[in-house]
A = this chain, B = another copy of it.
Amino acid sequence: MAEKGVKVFGMWASPMAIRVEWALRLKGVEYEYVDEDLANKSADLLRYNPVTKKVPVLVHDGKPIAESTIIVEYIDEAWKGGYPIMPADPYERAQARFWARYAEDKCNAALYPVFTTTGEAQRKVVHEAQQCLKTLETALEGKKFFGGDAVGYLDIVVGWFAHWLPVIEEVSGASVVTDEELPLMKAWFDRFLAVDAVKAVLPDRDRLLAANKARREQILSAA
């Protein structure tokens, strides 16, 4: 018989895996967390996600689901009565999915070079990342959260910006999300990080800083 309960396979510094924990905590679902060493993945992870072999994986009553944004939608549907993660209206749902895809495909790709460059080259990519985030920021206009009055799907998908970007900025010596350039997003960082379910599982800032510092040095020395 399949194992009962909810299990999350994550990695402490993964900005994708934390989405699953945020969604479960917003729903009030209890879960067991398994931290993976990505250099030495567990047999369970490889068995539950043989296709991409990536974290996060959610295992619900023995049935595995992979891909963080898909897991978040699953959590909303499987625990339907609880906290609403997706907007109720089909059009609003499509908009939330559109912006999530935009953030994943465009903004993540625009942000990564900030972490891997210096000097003049970095100034150029910082500007490009800001343009991408400014477009995303339009989805916040007139609202407290991307989800409206409360944290929703899009907040969960882009939520890592609030905790990870200031760390990446510090490590890279660059300013991306500033009061001048991205005031709505900057203010949302504070509001999002103050939500109980969000702050309960944030990775330790110093540890994240050290890991990202080491990673940047490795990338820059290999370049």
Interface residues of A (CB under 8 A from B): 51-52, 60, 63, 65-67, 70-71, 73-74, 77-78, 90-91, 93-95, 97-98, 101-102, 135
Contacts and interface: CB of A to CB of B under 8 A. Distances in A.
Given A74-B93, A93-B74, A98 B63 contact: no
B65 A91 contact: yes
6 contacts: A63-B91, A67-B97, A67-B101, A70-B101, A73-B97, A74-B93
Contacts of A65: 91, 94-95, 98
A5 to B, nearest CB: 15
Given A51-B98, A52-B102, A70-B94, 14 more contacts: A51-B102, A51-B135, A63-B91, A66-B98, A67-B97, A67-B98, A67-B101, A70-B101, A73-B94, A74-B90, A74-B91, A74-B93, A77-B90, A78-B91
A8 to B, nearest CB: 15
A94 B67 CA distance: 9
A85 to B, nearest CB: 13
A134 to B, nearest CB: 11
Contacts of A60: 91
Contact of A78 (B66, B73, B90, B97): B90
Contacts of A63: 91
A132 B3 CA distance: 30
A193 to B, nearest CB: 27
Contacts of A74: 90-91, 93-94
